Amino acid sequence: MYRFFRFFAVRPVMFLFFRTRVVGLENIPKRGGVIIAGNHIAFIDSVFVPGAANRPMTYLTGSDYFTKTGFGGRLLGWFLTQIGQLPIDRAGGSASKAALDTGIGVLERGGALGIYPEGSRSRDGKLHKGRTGVARLVLSSGVPVVPFGIVGSDGVMVKGSKLPRRARVTVTFGKPLTFEKVTGDYDAARLRAVTDEIMAAVQKLTPQEYVDTYVSARSE
């Protein structure tokens, strides 16, 4: 079902209607576990990025998107499931540990895991400080990280509009980053350094201004 939606529903709309431009596909390893991490400016990013990638991707998505009520809410939850997204609880604490374990499972099976290090969508147009969950995934698994930058998707679903608008979207995948795998406890300074290095690589792929604050502090 994932491949059907990707090739016969998502990609035709992306490339024929939105004229999506994809750069750097050669930077995504063709096999083996990999983390694909980037900016997040619109909900529809989780459709465009997997559609642009040259291999199946799994996204860890907030569980609230899967439990919305009404016909539209149920349809959304069904669609997210069909395109390979997994629900996670973003409440923190034990929920964060469960999300980490879910992500590690995807990587251990040789999958491509998509993640937004900012933790949530930016609503002020700026690129925000990354949360260290991405570093925990990287250091626990030892897989490479491919940074990406998406531009233009925030023009597709404009606030107040019920229908998507035609906007030029560009997805750029950067050179893979590699970090040494760590066993045992994580050092907080190391987690922050790895996260900041990933965010610096993402910033090079997007025109967004970087601000050293978490997304919830300025744009929620």
Task: Report which listed range, 81-85, 98-102, 103-107, is most confident.
Answer: 103-107
CA–CA distance from 165 to each of 46, 102, 162 (Å)?
17, 34, 9
Q: Are the beta carbons of 112 and 44 closer than 8 angstroms? A: no
pLDDT digits over 46-91, tens only? 889 999 999 999 887 777 777 777 877 777 777 777 777 777 765 5
| Sequence-distant (≥ 6) Cβ neighbours of residue 29 within 8 angstroms | 144, 146, 176
What value does the mean pLDDT take over residues 2-25?
A: 84
pLDDT above 90: residue 186: no
Q: Are the beta carbons of 80 and 2 closer than 8 angstroms? A: no
What are the tokens at 45? 């990013």
CA distance linking residue 133 with residue 119, whole number of Å: 9
What percentage of the chain exceeds 90 in pLDDT? 53
